[in-house]
């Protein structure tokens, strides 16, 4: 129980210290210290086989261990990037930024540890509230609009998720069972739950947490939020927050699977998965803002995740592996795009060209990240997407596999046109009055995305046995019957 509380308490303690520390110069250095402490604790917990506490309200299982490990790794890499980034933004106070980052980590950790669905809901809502100040860091009208959209759409989604949670509890009451929102209790009694109420609960929760994931058509907050947020924040949203929302949705899928209603849930997952990929492909075509482009890429990959779960079988393993590959690759893309934004002072393709000449390392990272995220070998996403396609073919879902491959091609073509326009060509003259117009690649700003790209490349050619075992255990745990 102590470790379970420490995983949440340590980032909160670092956040309080960051808020109290008066020095704008030294405060950002707390981020890598806190990130390293959290990552070390997570490694210790995973090596010991998980934790539990609060009479079953908190705990880690094979599913949440994967998500918590990813979140902690992404935060640590983001924390390494943060001091160099904040040094360039000296005109902005970093007190709230650093404090909110630690609070964000604490709440994402709480999501991973929550085995009580009510507590899970509270943690998901808290991630929205504590991350909102991060979106408003630039303090301009566009970032204010993006923050409000993020809060409003997220609030509607989380309200639907709460209603779905109530419906799930009533599914037990209607069946004459003792009501409980503990995951273990619900999985155990799942075969006895009222089917109509269980179906309604899953639909509401899927839409609600799907909005947090950014699945189409509940994705409308993403383009503005990702487009206006600093690259470090976009990285944590795309790789951390969406993965936590995916985990929350999987909790309810697990209950449906235990109740023998997996086929009902899978139909919804496949439909929304393909829809998200299609919507992303349409909006990527001729996209003129390269940061908004990454938002639509996130919409696509959330669709891939739920599609893999919907197909079932080996595709579940592929989807869980894709959670990791997507999170790491999004980190490369958002940090590289943030560097290019700093160099040019613009996100518009019409004003950004020749990045390979002005910021060669960041541009190369953006180009490599593009090939990785679109499923090109030998990067990690290729392996996880190939696993999903193969499972679809083995399962006889030929139409789904064909649609999946066709949409991947559409996304590749649409995304490639924008990325190539950014990195190729001759750099134009940048007005001297633009903020950070003299930005150049440095160790602090390119080192973290290089580290992430190395991990993505390694996962494309070799999945460590420890990780492979964890993924197989998580896939089996997700579809296990009581």
Task: Give per-residue pLDDT as tens, 66-123.
Answer: 999 999 999 999 999 999 888 888 888 899 999 999 999 999 999 999 999 999 999 9
pLDDT of residue 1: 64
pLDDT of residue 362: 94
CA-CA distance, 288 to 307, in Å (whole number)? Answer: 28
CA-CA distance, 478 to 482, in Å (whole number)? Answer: 11
CA-CA distance, 39 to 16, in Å (whole number)? Answer: 19
Is a pLDDT exceeding 60 seen at residue 431?
A: no
List the Cα angle 451/454/459 in 5-degree steps. Answer: 130
Is a pLDDT exceeding 60 seen at residue 434?
A: no
Is a pLDDT exceeding 90 seen at residue 174?
A: no
Lowest mean pLDDT among 224-238, 275-289, 435-449: 435-449
Angle separating helix axes 242-258 and 314-344, nearest 10 degrees:
170
Cβ count within 10 A of residue 263: 10
CA-CA distance, 448 to 482, in Å (whole number)? Answer: 43
Q: What percent of the chain has pLDDT over 90?
A: 77
pLDDT of residue 385: 96
Residue-wise burial string across 459-473, b where 16 or more C-beta atoms lie within 10 A, e elsewhere: bbeebeeeeeebbeb
The stretch 389-401 carries a mean pLDDT of 95
Is a pLDDT exceeding 90 seen at residue 53?
A: no
**Rg over CA atoms, the chain:** 21
Q: State residue 348 phi and psi, 5-degree precision.
A: -85, 130
Annotate 54-103 with DSSP letters as a single string.
Answer: GGGTEE--HHHHHHHHHHHHHHHHHHHHHHHHHHHTTTS--HHHHHHHHH
pLDDT tens per residue across span 291-309: 999 999 999 999 999 999 9
Is a pLDDT exceeding 80 seen at residue 55?
A: no
pLDDT of residue 196: 94
The stretch 155-172 carries a mean pLDDT of 94
Please, which residues have CB within 8 angstroms of residue 106's CB and are 6 or more apart in sequence? 8, 9, 11, 12, 15
pLDDT of residue 3: 77
pLDDT of residue 430: 58
Cβ count within 10 A of residue 253: 23
DSSP letter at 289 equals B
The pTM of this model reads: 0.95
pLDDT of residue 438: 66
C-beta separation of 414 from 344 below 8 A? no
pLDDT tens per residue across span 341-367: 988 888 888 888 889 999 999 999 999
Is a pLDDT exceeding 50 seen at residue 482?
A: no
pLDDT of residue 287: 85
Please, which residues have CB within 8 angstroms of residue 12's CB and are 6 or more apart in sequence? 102, 103, 106
Angle separating helix axes 262-284 and 290-311, nearest 10 degrees:
160
Q: What is the mean pLDDT of the chain?
A: 91
Question: Which SS3 state, helix, strand or coil, does residue 402 take?
Answer: helix
Lowest mean pLDDT among 68-77, 214-223, 320-329, 452-461: 214-223
Residue count (the chain): 482
Q: What percent of the chain has pLDDT over 70?
A: 96
Please give the residue that has the higher pLDDT: either 318 or 343.
Answer: 318
C-beta separation of 459 from 382 below 8 A? no
CA-CA distance, 131 to 124, in Å (whole number)? Answer: 11
- Residue 52 burial by CB count (10 A; 0-12/13-18/19+): exposed, middle or buried? middle
Closest CA to 121 of 216, 233, 278, 245: 245
pLDDT of residue 88: 83
Is a pLDDT exceeding 70 seen at residue 127?
A: yes
DSSP letter at 348 equals B
Lowest mean pLDDT among 49-63, 164-178, 409-423: 49-63
CA-CA distance, 56 to 65, in Å (whole number)? Answer: 16
Is a pLDDT exceeding 60 seen at residue 437?
A: no
């Amino acid at each position: 129980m102590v470790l379970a509380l420490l995983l949440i308490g340590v980032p909160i303690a670092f956040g309080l210290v960051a808020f109290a520390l008066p020095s704008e110069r030294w405060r950002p250095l707390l981020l890598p210290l806190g990130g390293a402490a959290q990552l070390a604790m997570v490694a210790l917990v995973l090596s010991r086989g998980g934790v539990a506490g609060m009479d079953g309200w908190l705990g880690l299982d094979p599913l949440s261990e994967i998500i918590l490990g990813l979140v902690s790794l992404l935060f640590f890499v983001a924390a390494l990037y943060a001091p160099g980034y904040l040094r360039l933004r000296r005109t902005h106070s970093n007190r709230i930024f650093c404090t909110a980052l630690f609070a964000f980590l604490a709440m994402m950790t709480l999501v991973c540890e929550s085995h009580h669905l009510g507590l899970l809901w509270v943690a998901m809502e808290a991630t929205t509230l504590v991350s909102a100040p991060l979106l408003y860091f630039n303090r301009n009208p566009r970032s204010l609009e993006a923050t409000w959209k993020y809060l409003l759409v997220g609030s509607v989604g989380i309200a639907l998720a709460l209603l779905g949670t109530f419906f799930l509890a009533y599914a037990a009451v209607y069946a004459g069972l003792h009501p409980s929102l503990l995951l273990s209790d619900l999985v155990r009694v799942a075969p006895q739950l009222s089917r109509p109420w269980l179906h309604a609960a899953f639909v509401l929760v899927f839409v609600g947490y799907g909005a947090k994931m950014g699945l189409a058509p509940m994705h409308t907050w993403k383009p503005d939020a990702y487009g206006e947020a600093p690259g470090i924040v976009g990285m944590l949203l795309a790789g951390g927050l969406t993965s936590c929302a995916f985990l929350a949705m999987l909790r309810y899928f697990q209950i449906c699977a235990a109740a023998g209603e997996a086929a009902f849930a899978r139909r919804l997952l496949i439909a929304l998965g393909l829809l998200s990929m299609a919507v992303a492909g349409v909006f990527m075509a001729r996209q003129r803002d390269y940061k908004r482009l990454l938002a639509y890429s996130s919409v696509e990959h959330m669709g891939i995740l739920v599609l893999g779960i919907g197909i079932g079988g080996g595709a579940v393993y592929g989807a869980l592996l894709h959670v990791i590959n997507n999170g790491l690759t999004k980190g490369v893309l958002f940090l590289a795009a943030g560097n290019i934004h700093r160099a040019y002072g613009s996100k518009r393709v019409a004003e950004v060209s020749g990045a390979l000449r002005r910021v060669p390392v960041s541009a190369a990272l953006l180009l490599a990240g593009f090939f990785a995220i679109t499923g090109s070998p030998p990067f990690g996403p290729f392996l996880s997407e190939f696993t999903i396609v193969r499972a679809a073919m083995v399962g006889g879902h030929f139409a789904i596999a064909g649609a999946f491959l066709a949409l991947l091609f559409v996304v590749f073509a649409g995304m490639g046109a924008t990325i190539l326009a950014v990195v190729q060509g001759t750099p134009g003259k940048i007005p001297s009055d633009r903020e950070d117009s003299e930005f150049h690649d440095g160790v602090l700003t390119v080192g973290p995305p290089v580290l992430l790209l190395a991990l993505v490349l390694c996962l494309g050619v070799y999945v460590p046995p420890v990780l492979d075992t964890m993924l197989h255990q998580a896939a089996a745990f997700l579809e296990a019957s009581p």
